[in-house]
A = this chain, B = another copy of it.
Amino acid sequence: MEPIRRQQLIKATMAAIDEVGLADATVMRIARHAGVSAGIISHYFGGKDGLLEGTMRQILSDLGAAVAARRNALKTTSPRAHIGAIIDGNFDSSQVTGPVAKTWLAFWASSMHRPTLARLQNVNDRRLYANLCHQFRRLMPRHEARACARALAALIDGLWLRGALTPEGLDSDEARRLAHDYLDRLLDTHDTLSAT
């Protein structure tokens, strides 16, 4: 029963945040979405904070899984292909849909002042950056590789951000296209950045 309820409540949390935002996502509203009573949340998550942490963990782990799956499916070890897989994983359809994207952004903003969420967000952030950096490193000096990794990560985040804010949601195909195009430009002429 426990794993069922936990999953149910996490899903309900995303639905509630998608509906009214993190600030108005009360335990009662979340519980109603899940079709249970409010007390259950404290029973399975120890309180509202535990539920929010569990929800963020779920999102981050799904995101990591989407990236890992695409990278494992590659037949090649080429850096370009791996970075492309990272891009595609970050725009995986399961991550880009309304509720998940809005919850993600809400957590992102509130992680500025919640140490627990900040830690989770940081781990995920470093993973993306380290992965990108490692692949770029195979094609250019460290300094350039770092700059490329930071820039591509920023573009990915920016596309996410704008996608979460527009009413129509993110056009994941166009986002992928723009990110891949940027990658192509970075790899074609990767000397320009060193002009510091």
Contacts and interface: CB of A to CB of B under 8 A. Distances in A.
A159 B165 contact: no
A49 interface: no
Contacts of A157: 157-158, 161-162
Which secondary structure dominates chain A's binding surface? helix
Residue among A106, A112, A151, A178 with max Cβ neighbours from chain B (10 Å) = A112
B192 A181 contact: yes
Nearest to A163: B154
A108 interface: yes
A105 B112 contact: yes
B154 A162 contact: yes
Number of copies: 2
Contacts of A159: 154, 158
Interface string A104-130: 011011111110000001000100000
Interface in A177-196: 177-178, 181-182, 184-186, 188-189, 192-193, 196
B24 A121 contact: no
A4 interface: no
Contacts of A121: 165
Contact of A192 (B102, B111, B153, B184): B184
Interface in A67-124: 102, 105-106, 108-114, 121
A149 to B, nearest CB: 11
Interface of A: 20-24, 102, 105-106, 108-114, 121, 125, 147, 150-151, 153-159, 161-162, 164-165, 174, 177-178, 181-182, 184-186, 188-189, 192-193, 196
Given A150-B178, A151-B182, 10 more contacts: A21-B110, A23-B113, A108-B109, A147-B178, A151-B181, A153-B162, A154-B155, A155-B155, A157-B158, A185-B185
